[in-house]
Amino acid sequence: MTIRHHLSDSLLMAHAAGQLPEAFGLVVAAHVSMCDECRVRLEAYEAVGGAMLDRCDSAPMADDSLDACFARIAGTPRTPRQRPAPAPRSVFPAPLRAYVGADPGAIRWRPVGMGVRQAVLRTGKGATARLLYIPAGQAVPDHGHRGTELTLVLQGAFRDETDRFGPGDVEIADQAVEHTPVAEAGADCICLAATDAPLRFAGILPRLAQPFIRI
């Protein structure tokens, strides 16, 4: 798998600092699990953050803190360690499987029009995450953005006015981007997308449906 579109430094630094909304953090974690280059960059930013913490003043602790910690450890019942079962092969990377499982067939897809389906994920405030299922050759309605949208391709590929995006690629779209993503022929496209503001649809029908499809 050749990944051509990567995460920005600002996103990786914010993720390392724990400053991203959960939905954006999920996209970043999923991409990093697929991309060696971004994983190395993220580890570098985390190392810088750790070095900065080492230079901070230490917080005062009670004299009996260590004894209290050992007492809690001693009082915790031991359970036998079990080797985890191997994860099944899945189009969903490990960080995403914690939200939806491993089987795309078990997802409760809901239609959003033009053959496209979505599944909104439960995440915290600040942004929304969803899975998108775009049939091969089908297009997502023309739209712009009121905020930021991160789209990670998990299966298949799509093209828009900016470039082609295949498995592992992430598109970062902001208010300057207006596009019509079209899934390539040959394989249905599955994406993980996160937005921090509603999309700005060009067509009247998608605008009318927008309050109901939550996109």
**CATH classification at residue 115:** 2.60.120.10
Q: Is the pLDDT of residue 4 over 90?
A: yes
What is residue 171's predicted lDDT score, i.e. its pLDDT? 97
User: Which residues span the domain enclosing 2?
Assistant: 1-58+94-215
112: in domain: yes
179: in domain: yes
Of the CA atoms within 13 Å of residue 146, those in its CB half-sphere come to: 9
What is residue 90's predicted lDDT score, i.e. its pLDDT? 83
Identify which has the larger pLDDT, 56 or 160: 160
Closest CA to 35 of 3, 66, 77: 3
49: in domain: yes
The answer to which of 11-20, 52-61, 76-85, 185-194 has the lowest mean pLDDT is: 76-85
Q: Is the pLDDT of residue 51 over 70?
A: no
77: in domain: no
Q: What percent of the chain has pLDDT above 90?
A: 62
Q: Could you tell me the pLDDT band of residue 31, with boundaries at 50, 70 and 90? A: very high
- Of 57-71, 74-88, 190-204, which has the strongest mean pLDDT? 190-204
Distance CA 28, CA 134 (A): 21
Q: What percent of the chain has pLDDT above 70?
A: 86
99: in domain: yes
Q: What is the pLDDT of residues 112-128, one digit of tens each?
A: 888 899 999 999 999 99
Q: Could you tell me the pLDDT band of residue 59, with boundaries at 50, 70 and 90? A: confident
The answer to which of 1-5, 102-106, 130-134, 186-190 has the lowest mean pLDDT is: 102-106
Q: Is the pLDDT of residue 208 over 70?
A: no
Distance CA 98, CA 111 (A): 23
82: in domain: no
User: Quick check: 165 and 5 in contact, CB under 8 A?
Assistant: yes
Return the structure tokens found at 71.
């007492």
Of the CA atoms within 13 Å of residue 91, those in its CB half-sphere come to: 21
pTM: 0.81
Computed over every residue of the chain, the mean pLDDT equals 88
Into how many domains does the chain fold?
1
192: in domain: yes
65: in domain: no
What is residue 75's predicted lDDT score, i.e. its pLDDT? 78
Q: What is the pLDDT of residues 81-94, one digit of tens each?
A: 665 555 556 899 99
Q: Could you tell me the pLDDT band of residue 204, with boundaries at 50, 70 and 90? A: confident
Q: What is the pLDDT of residues 150-165, one digit of tens each?
A: 999 999 999 999 999 9
10 Å Cβ neighbour count for 49? 14
